[in-house]
Amino acid sequence: MDGTSPRRHLARLVAAIAVVAASLGLITPPAYAEAGPKVAVMTRNLYLGGDLTPSIAAPTLPTFLAANAALLGHVDLVNFPARAALVAKEIRERDPDLVGLQEVALWRTGPIGDPAPATRVRYDYLALLMAELATSGHPYDVAVVRAEADLEAPAGAPYNLDVRLTMRDVILVRHGGRIKVTGTSSGNYVNNLVFPLPAVGDTATSTRGWTAVDAVLGSRSFRFVNTHLEAFHPGVRLLQAQELLRGPLNVPGRLILVGDLNSGPELPVPDNRLAYLALVAGRMVDTWPILHPGDPGYTAGLGDDLTQPADDVEHRIDMVMVRGTVAPVASEVFGTQRRTPDGRWASDHLGHQAVLALQ
């Protein structure tokens, strides 16, 4: 023990990583050449449909049942079948080669109190989106799916059902496109947030993970990784970013990372910047500030009801990062061009697409 406080250690870590960030060009963007075949990549968080916090924090069984019923009612209200049509239009208009999806929820129900897992599908976000893409004449193939948190609990009146939520991360590849997938992989993080459920005297785990494809465009090979880091605990989120660097990002050659990192360089709480800064220290380059210096590029914060004003976004946490001979050419944040018939956005996040040159 050297007598230095943990807070001072943290401050030193943040300062050291910030120096690395500056050296990698996040403060003074490097001048990238644009030679090489171009790959378009998209990241899109689909929004599971509600806030789990009231259920987690419910102090008694009656309030737990009521909170779970309210959650299911809200999932119905924000209507993913209608939102899926918006997401499919976004994909059709932008024609990405690869899409990383997060919060690809699978909602199922079963008899209340039945110890067997609920199996009756209420909403399969992946199936609904794929059907919309196929109907639009712009089909995509599911390259890899990773199941993450799998949570089941009883919901009270008016449902009186067991309700099961399975979260997934997914990578889509444009059907018949230029990208040849040579391999796929996925995994769950060892470090996950375990939270208490006071109403039932138990705990639940917010399992998170990643998906990846190895691919070839022309003569250039690369790895495309998609992830969704922990939202509610910066320490766990940092550990997951470190796992990512030791795992799917620990390969030579061209790397592209997309996803909802729940972390960014300008977030107001310093601890929430740490996962992002760890990735930068691992030589991942944030493409947005290179192409849009001075533009905050906010991507998150449209509210649980998906009806807040378009300019209410206030965080940039949906990222496209690269390493190796990959050069950002163009990018955009999108998602406020249209609403569902009842006036809702496609998600509480905006989408982010980047065009990258494989040098």
User: Distance (Å, rounded) from C-alpha 222 to C-alpha 259?
Assistant: 17
Range of the domain at 90: 38-358
User: Distance (Å, rounded) from C-alpha 10 to C-alpha 172?
Assistant: 38
Identify the weakest region by mean pLDDT among 19-23, 78-82, 275-279, 329-333: 19-23
Assigned domain for 30 exists: no
How many domains in the chain? 1
pLDDT in tens, 58-111: 999 999 999 999 999 999 999 999 999 999 999 999 999 999 999 999 999 999
The kind and range of the H/E element at 106 are strand 106-111
The Cβ of residue 176 has, within 10 Å, a number of other Cβ atoms equal to 8
Assigned domain for 159 exists: yes
- Report the b/e string of 110-138 with b at 16+ CB within 10 A: beeeeeeebeeebbbbbebbbebbeeeeb
> Which residues fall within 8 angstroms of residue 1, CB to CB, at 6 or more apart?
none
Assigned domain for 32 exists: no
Residue 130 tokens, joined: 């794929």
pLDDT in tens, 321-357: 999 999 999 999 999 999 999 999 999 999 999 999 9
Which CATH number goes with the domain that contains 269?
3.60.10.10
Q: Taking a C-beta distance cutoff of 8 angstroms, is the pair 100, 171 a contact?
A: yes
Counts of helices then strands in the chain (DSSP H, E): 8, 16
Q: Taking a C-beta distance cutoff of 8 angstroms, is the pair 71, 52 a contact?
A: yes
Assigned domain for 1 exists: no
- CA 165 from chain centre, in angstroms, equals 16
Residue 349 tokens, joined: 């996040």
DSSP secondary structure letter of residue 118: P
User: Distance (Å, rounded) from C-alpha 311 to C-alpha 336?
Assistant: 9
pLDDT value of position 34:
65
What share of the chain in percent tops pLDDT 70?
A: 91
> Which residues fall within 8 angstroms of residue 126, CB to CB, at 6 or more apart?
101, 104, 106, 142, 145, 168, 170
Assigned domain for 22 exists: no
Mean pLDDT (the chain, rounded): 92
Assigned domain for 3 exists: no
- Model confidence at 14, pLDDT cuts 50, 70, 90, reads very low
Assigned domain for 24 exists: no
Q: Is the predicted pLDDT of residue 32 greater than 80, yes or no?
A: no
- Model confidence at 136, pLDDT cuts 50, 70, 90, reads confident
Assigned domain for 8 exists: no
pLDDT value of position 84:
98
pLDDT in tens, 178-231: 999 999 999 999 999 999 999 999 999 999 999 999 999 999 999 999 999 999
Query: Which residue bears the tokens 């799998």?
Result: 150
